């Protein structure tokens, strides 16, 4: 498990709870020592006791050599560096699973595309995504997720590896859709948080989520995704959780910004990375590259990076010309 943040710690807890020897690689010696000595992460999910099968190290070679499966639990913008560090120790056979939800800044590549560039293969790669807040997964609260792999056999094997009585994985062959949904839903969650910060109600949030899902699925379809993926766990499921939960980093970031805060303030106060802060840039750029209108995504970008008041974004969205609800979506082809 490369990355000992809250999500990496939670997934390590799932695997360790099955009796699977799981090694967490942590950048911080304090975190590695805390996990190894006290079975607790001293920085993230601090009240969760990890199974005895979970250990930690700051030595990447020690963590990776001989591993049957390698899981990357770093933020999306750190995936390339993590993969480059991993490459000398990877045997070319162990499946590599990405937990990150984002697109690489500059290249606009999905996470498995970044891994494929560095590792030289798609066949051993997979992405895990869904409505999976670490705080709940670590406490064995019933949760479903989806695993998207390029190779069906890899996907099925990983599905069985991660399955527990409280954590139920499904497989989906649509890697493009699962990864794009994961990146784009974070942006809509930032918008939902801004709605909360402005004091709006359920009508506003439901409207943002519904129109956001339409925006997400248009982009996915243009990139070759299966539209049904957006009705599943990686799409609608994760969107609901991320836009409504008290655990959601992206929703909290949006609320912070609407109340006059900033990305830097949020990250300093919480020690957390909200992926939507970068995804509002990358998803907006991908939509523009594809010639698509992404009005919610674009307004989030304008508020976060150009300093526009969140209220101006509301006016811009509500003032748009009215169209057919399914404008830009050829339902006959779906």
Any bridge partners for residue 146, and if so which? Answer: 129, 170
CA distance 211 to 204: 11
Tokens found for residue 301: 């970008």
Identify the residue whose tokens are 């609800």: 325
Identify the residue whose tokens are 């802060």: 277
Sign of CA dihedral 219, 156, 144, 122: negative
CA distance 240 to 238: 5
Q: Which residues of 252-274 are buried (b: 16+ CB within 10 A; e: fewer)?
A: bbbbbbbeeeebeebbeeeeebb
Task: Determine the number of helices (DSSP H) and then strands (DSSP E) in the chain.
Answer: 15, 7
CA distance 202 to 25: 41
Q: Which residues of 58-96 are buried (b: 16+ CB within 10 A; e: fewer)?
A: bebeebbeebebbbbbbbbbebbebbeebeeebeeeebb
Angle between helices 249-258 and 175-197 (to 10 degrees): 40
Active site residues: 185
Question: Residue 29 contacts by C-beta under 8 Å, 6 or more apart in sequence?
Answer: 58
CA distance 161 to 229: 22
Write the CA distances from 250 to 137, 266, 272, integer angstroms. Answer: 18, 10, 10
Identify the residue whose tokens are 């895990």: 128
């Amino acid at each position: 498990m490369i990355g000992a943040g809250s999500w990496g710690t939670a997934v390590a807890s799932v695997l360790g709870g099955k009796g699977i020897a799981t090694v967490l690689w942590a950048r911080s010696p304090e975190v590695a020592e805390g996990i190894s000595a006290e079975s607790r992460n001293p920085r993230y999910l601090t009240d969760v006791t990890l199974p005895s099968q979970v250990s930690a190290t700051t030595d990447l070679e020690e963590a990776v050599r001989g591993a049957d499966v390698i899981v990357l639990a770093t933020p999306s913008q750190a995936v390339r560096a993590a993969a480059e560090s991993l490459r000398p120790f990877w045997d070319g056979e162990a499946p590599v699973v990405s937990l990150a939800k984002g697109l690489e800044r500059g290249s606009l590549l999905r996470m498995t595309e970044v891994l494929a560039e560095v590792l030289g293969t798609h066949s051993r790669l997979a992405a895990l995504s869904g409505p999976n807040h670490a705080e709940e997964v670590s406490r064995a609260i019933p949760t479903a997720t989806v695993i998207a792999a390029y190779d069906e056999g890899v996907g099925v094997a990983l599905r069985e590896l991660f399955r527990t009585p409280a954590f139920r994985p499904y497989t989906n062959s649509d890697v493009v859709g699962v990864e794009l949904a994961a990146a784009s839903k974070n942006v809509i969650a930032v918008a939902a948080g801004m709605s909360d910060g402005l004091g709006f109600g359920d009508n506003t949030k439901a409207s943002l989520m519904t129109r956001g899902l339409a925006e997400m699925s248009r982009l996915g379809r243009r990139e070759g995704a299966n539209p049904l993926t957006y009705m599943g766990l990686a799409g609608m499921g994760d969107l609901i959780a991320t836009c409504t939960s008290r655990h959601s980093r992206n929703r909290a970031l949006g609320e912070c910004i609407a109340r006059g805060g900033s990305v830097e303030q949020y990250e300093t106060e919480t020690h957390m990375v909200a992926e939507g802060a970068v995804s509002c840039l990358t998803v907006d750029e991908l939509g523009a590259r594809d010639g698509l209108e992404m009005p919610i995504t674009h307004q989030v970008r304008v508020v976060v990076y150009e300093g526009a008041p969140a209220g101006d974004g509301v006016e811009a969205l509500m003032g748009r010309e009215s169209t057919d609800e399914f404008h830009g979506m050829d339902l006959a082809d779906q």
